Amino acid sequence: MNFDTLTDYALNFYSSYPFVAVAIALVLLFLAYKKPKESFKFAIFVLFMAAVFYALGMFRDTLSTGTQSANEGIQKSKNLED
């Protein structure tokens, strides 16, 4: 998943549910204004979790590629034995 995909999701959400998107933005801005320390901690937590999920996604893609290559090798060796 790249940044373009995320922006497309956000824009599609905004175009589908504009009132909900504006309400979410206003709540986040209000919280950032009233409690900046907690908002900063929350933003750091969200960024950390995004990095973790991104790394897990990359790891999953690597595992699926390796598994696919291993399965192809098994099929080739089975075909050679027959």
- Is 14 in contact with 21 (CB distance < 8 Å)? yes
Domain ranges of the chain: 1-34, 36-82
Helices of type H across 17-35: 18-34
CA 41 vs CA 20, 23, 38, 72: distances in Å? 24, 21, 5, 47
**pLDDT, tens digit, for every residue of 23-79?**
999 998 998 899 999 989 988 998 899 888 888 877 776 766 667 776 776 676 666
Is residue 20 exposed (0-12), middle (13-18) or buried (19+ Cβ within 10 Å)?
exposed
